[in-house]
């Protein structure tokens, strides 16, 4: 059942932070979108659809839909209805460009809404996606959003999420390497995050932290596992970047180097 309606607290990251330039030049998949004029999508969107086992006739919701690639792709793959929820107007406008370019307007909508209060009925959705939005939500915002996802999923419906980067590659691995390399005289900034990460990535995850959030939201037995992305652009020296790659190759050390997490859960 839908919880009693209460006024939502102001989002910790304002919608105004997400301007058109962010979606055109920062948001994952922007290269493929720009080069194709919205006709093509990055591999992460195809991977998410494939992982989800989406079948023709299903209803799909993408929370944090960005430029709309995933909902357009879902419609092209037979979704009966694809809803992309966005709270930033520039994203919603670009998503409409994508929908028009790919000729799926009859089965796709991108309403402007807050993820903490999805404009969907209880038990009305078969698949929910949250790709690279988790790290943009404060812990209480993430919990509210996951609870909403749980509410709108049909029994047996599934949620698929992706988050990048983990906090571990910055707060554990980078700090340890910074100390180790200090003796060489290399210049290692105290914090390797860039400006938009400081402003927007307010809840970087670990595997344990994300599992707990899923459990608290009502998802039992969520599968949280590492992906394959190696993110080393922030590492100052070639040898240190090579060390990240070496850590990523081994199962026991991969959590200290692999930069992304997938989460899969069934209602």
CA-wise closest residue to 157 among 183, 128, 190, 131: 128
**Each residue's pLDDT tens digit in the chain (267 positions)?**
445 567 899 999 999 999 999 999 999 999 999 999 999 999 999 999 999 999 999 999 999 999 999 999 999 999 999 999 999 999 999 999 999 999 999 999 999 999 999 999 999 999 999 999 999 999 999 999 999 999 999 999 999 999 999 999 999 999 999 998 876 656 899 999 999 999 999 999 999 999 999 999 999 999 999 999 999 999 999 999 999 999 999 999 999 999 999 999 999
Sheet architecture: strand order including 59-63: 108-109, 81-85, 59-63, 125-131, 153-163, 261-266, 223-226
Superfamily of domain 15-167+201-232+256-266: Vaccinia Virus protein VP39 (3.40.50.150)
Q: Give, for 141, the enclosing helix (H) or strand (E).
A: helix 139-152
Domain boundaries, the chain: 15-167+201-232+256-266
Give the tens place of pLDDT for each residue, 2-21. 455 678 999 999 999 999 99
Task: Please state, in angstroms and rounded to a whole number, the distance separating the CA atoms of residues 205 and 48.
Answer: 19
């Amino acid at each position: 059942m839908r919880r009693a309606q209460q006024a939502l607290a102001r989002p910790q990251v304002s919608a105004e932070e997400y301007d058109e330039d962010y979606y055109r030049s920062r948001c994952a998949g922007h290269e493929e979108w720009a080069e194709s004029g919205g006709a093509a999508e990055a591999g992460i969107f195809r991977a998410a659809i494939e992982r989800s086992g989406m079948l023709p006739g299903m209803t799909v919701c993408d929370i944090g839909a960005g430029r709309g690639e995933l909902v357009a792709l879902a419609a092209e793959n037979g979704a009966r209805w694809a809803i992309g929820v966005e709270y930033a107007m520039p994203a919603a406008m670009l998503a409409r460009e994508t929908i028009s370019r790919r000729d799926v307007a009859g089965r796709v909508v991108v309403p402007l809404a807050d993820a903490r209060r999805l404009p969907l009925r209880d038990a009305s959705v078969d698949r929910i996606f949250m790709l690279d939005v988790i790290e943009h939500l404060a812990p209480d915002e993430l919990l509210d959003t996951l609870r909403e996802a749980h509410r709108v999923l049909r029994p047996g419906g599934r949620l698929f999420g992706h988050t990048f980067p983990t906090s571990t590659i910055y707060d554990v691995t980078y700090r340890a390497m910074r100390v180790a390399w200090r003796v060489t005289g290399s210049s290692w900034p105290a914090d390797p995050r860039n400006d938009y990460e400081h402003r927007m990535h307010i809840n970087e995850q670990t595997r344990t932290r994300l599992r707990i959030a899923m459990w608290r939201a009502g998802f039992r037995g969520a599968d949280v596992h590492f992906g394959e992305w190696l993110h080393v652009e922030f590492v100052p020296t070639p040898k240190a970047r090579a060390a990240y790659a070496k850590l990523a190759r081994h199962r026991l050390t991969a959590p200290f180097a692999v930069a992304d997490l997938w989460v899969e859960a069934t209602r």
